[in-house]
Structure 1
Amino acid sequence: MSVFTSYYSPLNSSNAFLRVALASIVVTGLLACGAENTKESAQSEELQADGLIIVDCLLPPQLRKLGKQATYMTPRRPIKTTGSECEIRGGEYVAYDRSSYSTALKTWLPLAQQGDPDAQTNVGEINEKGMGIPPDYKVAAMWYQKAADQGFSRAQINLGHLYEKGLGVPKSTVTALNWYRKASGLSADNLEYTSSLQALSDTHKEEVISLKNKLKRVKTREKKAKLLNSELALMRKQVNKNKEYASKNKLLTQQIQQLEASLQSAREQKADLLPIQQQILALQGMVKVSVPELSDAPSAPNYVALAQSPPGIEIIDPPITLTRGSKTAMLKPVIASQEIIGKITAPYGLKLFEINNKKHDIDKHNLFWVTVPISQQETPITIKAEDKQGNKVDMSFSLFSSRSVRAVPALTGTHSQLERGIKLGDYYAVIIGNNSYKNYPDLKTAITDAEETARVLQDEYGFKTLLLRDATRYKILSTFNRIRRELKESDNLLIYYAGHGEIDKTDQSGYWLPVDARQGDTKNWISNSAISDILGAIKAKHVMVVVDSCYSGTLSTTSIPRSNANFSPKIHKEWIEVMTTTSARMALTSGGVQPVIDSGGGKHSVFAKAFLDTLSDNKGLMEGYSLYTNVLGKMKVVTDKLNVDQIPDYAPIQHAGHEAGEFFFQRM
């Protein structure tokens, strides 16, 4: 059976998605036959794969005719497309692995200056990424603001992200949530923007800036000390050679004494600042283990990761709503208690964790599951965390219940049926399972996980599936390129990848590893930023990437709109309608940037088992975030028993065209 057919069924001749994908791959297979093992064939395939990466392409001007007499040339037009298509259309581009800040800016800046919101957003993203130079968040925010003021959703999401993190703009969760709300289209009074909530300490960020300034002063003093040493050596030499000049000798001796005093002062100042240098080195060490940004910029200082090293609080459930500037979790009526699920990040170690002034513990995965009583209509919640360095962070919100207390069943996060009048569109899935690697250790369960995922999605959810077993870089990229051409805006796409992932230690960027990946050679890997560019070029409105590996560069979960437990059926229908008309680019990952285990779930990985069980348990309509919370709970039970650290993540993919929508699963 071809690895590019459905999981088990023969191809349907009317299935355009599978037919065109099969046709393109059959041609590839025929070309590879007979020369598969030759060096020339491998090099040719590698070059073909390079041409399938998305680049910034500047198309040539077009000659147009106006009436019978006048002709004119149109301006050059920038687009994002593959390198091969740019060549076919006579465009100008810089190869993906050689593009830089200046080359990307050259493509998009002229159109941005003319007021085009898409180009303005691209210029903002170029400045936010840095692309070989330190990111300029202030300039990025300026361009995002221009596009956001025109109602451009992608820019509104990006601007909200900067406000949430305090990058280039004053940090403000309220402003961030308001921008996310505008991007989502939730503008009606009865449709508040509801999300998860994160809080990070500002004090540590200020401390980093202060320490950086002190380090600069240390380096300046060190340079002065070196100059003083040089002058001192020169003067001593002059004294030894010119003893006959007593008066001059005396003067030089005095100067030497003055210089020695200055040098001693500089040494003392350097000694005083030595602890500061040690703190900076410790902070730089923390950067290496922090979540990397989704960027391929060469090793520029990652101050974003550095600022994320203080303690942080993330509320996973219940969802938080911004109501008139305050943060509220809307609960079902007559509920006696509410479980608060969240995560604490404390790289220096957690010293104190409190909810409403009561101490609680977190588990070894840094998660907490705390039940609080609901005894009144509005229950204020204050969460505090302090690390062993004395850095503190706190978060406050309210649990709101509309009536008096009585126990009710827990929330399921799913809905029995799709309301009439809502069309979700067609569903497609590309499922990749890589077991047999040429230059890396083989995996045991990746193909089994991929095959079962294909079966469940096809049989139980009606997906049209395309399964790739032991896929090379060219197979993966050519498949993505075909999908980019064929899928419509009304379609939904799920990409599932099970295989090796890698982090480039020089710039902390993440990669997927095809089976022909070479160790230490990123040219033959597939970067997360390249995948994000591909997702941004795909027309499908809703895309979810499920990765049983590592995937970096996501936004926080604050930017995910959540269904509210207090929604009436009518309001819930309106919420789904808004979400289905707004673009979504979501990533569900198995364990952040840490190594994930390739077993533990029987014949499946721990993550795949939880993912498949959640899909099988669902009986109706399920949003992506509900999928995540169920996977999180199922994985926690298993990882606790195995005594391993693996926590799944779910968040929008940055710089991939996300506009605050959600991905939905509808059981057949």
Structure 2
Amino acid sequence: MLFSGVSACSNTQENDVGAVPASTEDVIAGLQIVDCLLPGQLRKLGNMSYMSPRRPVKTTAADCRIRGGEYVAYDRADYKTALKVWLPSAEQGDAEAQLAVGEVFEKGLGTEPNYEVAIFWYQKAADQGNKSALFNLGTLYEQGLGVEKDRLQAINYYRQAWGMPEDSLIYQETAQREQQELRAELANQLKAKDQQLALLDRQVAALKKQVGSANTSTAVAQNAGAELATLQQLLKSVHNDRASVERKLSTIPRLRTPALSMPKASPTAAGGGTKFDDMDFGRYYALVIGNRDYAILDDLETPLNDAREIGDILEKQYGFQVQLLLDSDRLTVMQAINELHSVLTEKDNLLIYYAGHGSMVNVGERDTGYWLPINADPPPNDAFWISNEFVSNHLGRLQAKRVLVIADSCYGGLLSSAPGQLFLGQGRESDNPEYVKYKLPRRSRLLMSSGGDKPVIDEGGDGHSVFARELINVLRANKGLLSAPDLYAQIREPVTQQAALNNFIQEPVYKIIKGAGHEVGDFFFIPKVDVN
């Protein structure tokens, strides 16, 4: 383990002298993030003493116990128990509690999601300036969940969530691109409506001629008259639809943005962090996990090769402090993630790479993804699986400024319910100084998955998976500052093409990890100056 300062024992274990050692399952239960209701505090006002209201927080079960809080066991929690913790504070106007209630209804927690109610609570929190609520509203508008789909409205919510002024070049570039696409889509709709109207006009004219003809029998004329009435009603409906499309088209504003170029500079290591030009990117850490040899499941071929080589590149070429976990069980992986809290500071960068089996469980309208450690049982027994929710909950508590998860496993894209990013921009973002300087001070929680919410192939990359092979190639070839969107742009098409050569459909995805504290930041790779 190359992380300096990592304690050999987790702070979630209560190992006082004379205490009964905790079982593995007790330790794992203590690592889960729960809805915790802390006790009130005794306060004084003059000569009067009183208890403050109980305060809800999200924390580990072990921490909740230590602080005397009340919670429901992770595997028994549902929306009713979660609401019991958060709803009283939400009703009193607490924005964080309103956000939590919205997330309860969006996730469903044992029942079907209720997006309309989620929007209600998100809007209450957003009205108080809560950034996470604004972002969550954006994702729902982008996907059309609980509201009519509106990507421009989604972009505007994202802008507010990330503190972008309306005249920000990044916002204007993204909005302009979306406006152009929407304008083209609406123009196509208008063309289709005009074609429908022309066809209906010809049919109406033909029927009118038939009804008015002296040679038409009474019965035929009556039938033609009924058809004419139906067509005229349809004609009116299409006219109304066309007018609606035209109104939408007329409301799309036009923006202009200048082109920018990134100044060339060599990165240098200074002050314990990585610097590029006049920008300090902080320290870099990586948790690299590769699982190949499974106790019960079928063994894989490439995860150990993938993890070793990617860990080597990150350490030697990019200066990461790397913790490499090979063929790890559930407890080992979960403790490693939990121990990151004691290592990372608010200036640091964290990359988590996972290669191994993945699976999913369908819960109502949504699918939940899992990483499968080497002691995992086959589906549907998920007792020893590591849920995506465990990972994302811990990412939300980490102090690290920038976090990127790269998941090369089946269903790896389910780590985030957010849609693909709208703020990807065009061209190489790494060469855009406005982009880099704006993104750098802001938190990021990002996911790059080898195959979205679908299965992926284990081989096809000359001893590596097809995804790992392209990732390795791009990282090795890179000589300057490289943003995560540019990394994704360079590997997406080659992975898709190489998978097709292996008679498989696979397309990587790149998106924000929703609910983990993303604030429009990005993740940047900067090679060391002494790399040949």
Residue 492 of structure 1 corresponds to 349
In structure 2, how many angstroms separate the alpha carbons of the residues matched to 1:586 and 1:567?
A: 16
Residue 344 of structure 1 corresponds to none
Residue 428 of structure 1 is aligned with which of 276, 285, 289? 285
Residue 332 of structure 2 corresponds to 475
**1:128 counterpart SS class:** helix
Residue 47 of structure 1 corresponds to 26
Q: Does 1:514 find its partner at 2:367? A: no
Q: Does 1:538 find its partner at 2:398? A: yes
Cα shift at 1:84: 1.1
Larger relative strand fraction? 1
Alignment of 1:380-419 (within 5 A): none
Residue 16 of structure 2 corresponds to none
CA contact (8 A) 1:108 1:122 kept: yes
Residue 64 of structure 1 corresponds to 43
CA RMSD of aligned residues (A): 3.5
In structure 1, how many angstroms separate the alpha carbons of the residues matched to 2:72 and 2:286?
A: 31
Cα shift at 1:642: 2.0
CA contact (8 A) 1:434 1:515 kept: yes
Residue 24 of structure 1 corresponds to 9
Range with bigger deviation, 145-154 or 440-449:
145-154
Q: Does 1:326 find its partner at 2:326? A: no
In structure 2, how many angstroms separate the alpha carbons of the residues matched to 1:486 and 1:401?
A: 41
Cα shift at 1:643: 2.4
Paired residue type of 2:424: R
Residue 205 of structure 1 corresponds to none
CA contact (8 A) 1:185 1:578 kept: no
Cα shift at 1:81: 0.9
Residue 605 of structure 1 corresponds to 465
CA contact (8 A) 2:460 2:466 kept: yes
- 1:361-401 CA-partner distances (Å, limit 9, x unpaired): xxxxxxxxxxxxxxxxxxxxxxxxxxxxxxxxxx9999999
Cα shift at 1:655: 2.1
In structure 2, how many angstroms separate the alpha carbons of the residues matched to 1:628 and 1:567?
A: 11
Q: 1:51 to 1:456 in 2, by over 3 A?
A: same
Residue 211 of structure 2 corresponds to none
Paired residue type of 1:158: N
Cα shift at 1:563: 4.8
CA contact (8 A) 2:293 2:327 kept: yes
In structure 1, how many angstroms separate the alpha carbons of the residues matched to 2:449 and 2:281?
A: 24
Alignment of 1:230-309 (within 5 A): none
Alignment of 1:198-209 (within 5 A): none
Cα shift at 1:575: 2.9
CA contact (8 A) 1:49 1:477 kept: yes
In structure 1, how many angstroms separate the alpha carbons of the residues matched to 2:257 and 2:438?
A: 25
Q: 1:421 to 1:186 in 2, by over 3 A?
A: farther
In structure 2, how many angstroms separate the alpha carbons of the residues matched to 1:546 and 1:71?
A: 52
CA contact (8 A) 1:184 1:578 kept: no
Tell me the matched-pair count. 445
In structure 2, how many angstroms separate the alpha carbons of the residues matched to 1:474 and 1:429?
A: 19
**2:170 counterpart SS class:** coil
Unaligned residue ranges in structure 1 (runs of 5+): 7-16, 29-39, 195-319, 330-352, 358-394, 404-410
Residue 375 of structure 1 corresponds to none
- 1:555-613 CA-partner distances (Å, limit 9, x unpaired): 12244x235559998xx434323312222211111112332221111121111111111
**2:442 counterpart SS class:** coil
TM-score normalised by structure 1 residue count: 0.61
In structure 1, how many angstroms separate the alpha carbons of the residues matched to 2:262 and 2:420?
A: 17
**2:317 counterpart SS class:** helix
Q: Does 1:662 find its partner at 2:522? A: yes
In structure 2, how many angstroms separate the alpha carbons of the residues matched to 1:566 and 1:430?
A: 27
In structure 1, how many angstroms separate the alpha carbons of the residues matched to 2:266 and 2:122?
A: 38
Q: Does 1:635 find its partner at 2:495? A: yes
Q: 1:325 to 1:497 in 2, by over 3 A?
A: closer
In structure 2, how many angstroms separate the alpha carbons of the residues matched to 1:567 and 1:498?
A: 27
Cα shift at 1:66: 4.8
Alignment of 1:609-624 (within 5 A): 609-624=469-484
CA contact (8 A) 2:449 2:510 kept: yes
**1:607 counterpart SS class:** helix
Q: 1:414 to 1:85 in 2, by over 3 A?
A: farther
CA contact (8 A) 2:430 2:436 kept: no
TM-score normalised by structure 2 residue count: 0.76
Cα shift at 1:104: 0.7
Residue 79 of structure 2 corresponds to 101
Residue 196 of structure 2 corresponds to none
**2:9 counterpart SS class:** helix
Range with bigger deviation, 112-121 or 320-329:
320-329
Q: 1:48 to 1:402 in 2, by over 3 A?
A: closer
In structure 1, how many angstroms separate the alpha carbons of the residues matched to 2:281 and 2:418?
A: 25
CA contact (8 A) 1:445 1:599 kept: yes
In structure 2, how many angstroms separate the alpha carbons of the residues matched to 1:470 and 1:639?
A: 25
- 1:170-207 CA-partner distances (Å, limit 9, x unpaired): 3211111111122223215242326xxxxxxxxxxxxx
Residue 424 of structure 2 is aligned with which of 562, 565, 586? 562
In structure 2, how many angstroms separate the alpha carbons of the residues matched to 1:414 and 1:435?
A: 43
In structure 2, how many angstroms separate the alpha carbons of the residues matched to 1:472 and 1:414?
A: 46
Cα shift at 1:636: 3.1
Q: 1:622 to 1:479 in 2, by over 3 A?
A: same
Q: 1:506 to 1:131 in 2, by over 3 A?
A: closer
Cα shift at 1:325: 8.4
Identity of aligned residues (%): 43
**2:475 counterpart SS class:** helix
Paired residue type of 1:632: R
Q: 1:70 to 1:663 in 2, by over 3 A?
A: same
In structure 1, how many angstroms separate the alpha carbons of the residues matched to 2:429 and 2:465?
A: 36
Q: 1:623 to 1:94 in 2, by over 3 A?
A: same
Q: 1:150 to 1:191 in 2, by over 3 A?
A: farther
Residue 625 of structure 1 corresponds to 485
Paired residue type of 1:562: L
**2:25 counterpart SS class:** helix
- 1:25-65 CA-partner distances (Å, limit 9, x unpaired): 8x99xxxxxxxxxxx99x92123112101111111112234
Residue 115 of structure 1 is aligned with which of 65, 88, 93? 93
Q: 1:145 to 1:493 in 2, by over 3 A?
A: same
Residue 463 of structure 1 corresponds to 320
Q: Does 1:444 find its partner at 2:301? A: yes
In structure 1, how many angstroms separate the alpha carbons of the residues matched to 2:263 and 2:417?
A: 25
Cα shift at 1:416: 5.8
In structure 1, how many angstroms separate the alpha carbons of the residues matched to 2:510 and 2:102?
A: 24
In structure 2, how many angstroms separate the alpha carbons of the residues matched to 1:448 and 1:192?
A: 38
Cα shift at 1:667: 1.8
Residue 371 of structure 1 corresponds to none
Q: 1:512 to 1:579 in 2, by over 3 A?
A: same
Q: 1:328 to 1:420 in 2, by over 3 A?
A: farther
- 1:298-322 CA-partner distances (Å, limit 9, x unpaired): xxxxxxxxxxxxxxxxxxxxxx621
Cα shift at 1:491: 1.4
Q: 1:420 to 1:478 in 2, by over 3 A?
A: same
